[in-house]
Amino acid sequence: MPTVTMTVNGKAVTGEVEGRTLLVHFLRDKLHLTGTHVGCDTAQCGACTVHLNGKAIKSCNMLALQAEGAEITTIEGLAQNGTLHPMQEAFRDNHGLQCGFCTPGMVMAAVSLVKGKSNLSDDEIRHGLDGNICRCTGYHNIVKAVKAGAQAMGGK
């Protein structure tokens, strides 16, 4: 079996994978980072969104081997030293999550979406999140949360 090496949440990791293993399964099954979820099989729902070299991608839509040498951040790597990332905090403050299943992907997508933009309109946020499906919240509070998170991040 081939091996793959990448940096996940700041730690170098190496693992054996089958050629067909998707990045999301490598993260969940080999690294036990189960915060990244699988909600569909057509790269539509975004529950598996992680950051690859700083940009949001759907980890069900690439092979683990394609991430060779990449820097990956998952939801587990977002909070630093037990302090929530401002976007995580904003989701909590604005009740931007209910069952929590789409949440990791939604938060990772939101962080990437607002990078460098602290003042997004509701419309921009709604369109920017159309790759992530939430069945619980009706998006109302997610939009509020992303807006608040973007402001708290101050364009960073």
Q: Which residues bind another protein (CB under 8 A)?
A: 18, 20, 28, 33-42, 44-45, 47, 74-76, 78-79, 84, 88, 91-93, 95, 97-104, 107, 122-123, 125-127, 129-130, 132-143
Of 69 and 82, the one with the shorter C-beta distance to another protein is: 82
Nearer to another protein, 52 or 69 (CB): 52
Neighbours of 113 (CB within 10 A): 21
In angstroms, what is the minimal distance from the CB of 89 to another protein?
Answer: 8
Cβ 83 to another protein shortest distance, Å: 11
> 3-state class of 51 per DSSP?
strand
> Residue 67 or 113: which CB sits closer to another protein?
113
Closest distance of CB 17 from another protein, Å: 11
33, two tokens: 């980072």
Q: How many CB atoms are located within 10 Å of the residue 10 CB? A: 10
Question: What is d(CA 140, CA 60) in angstroms, rounded to the nearest whole number?
Answer: 26
Q: Give least dist CB 55 to another protein, A.
A: 19
CA 21, CA 18: separation in Å to the nearest integer? 5
Cβ 14 to another protein shortest distance, Å: 20
Specify the residue, 69 or 88, whose C-beta has the smaller distance to another protein: 88
Pick from 25, 56, 45: nearest CA to 136: 45
Let me know: does 85 contact 110? Beta carbons within 8 Å.
no
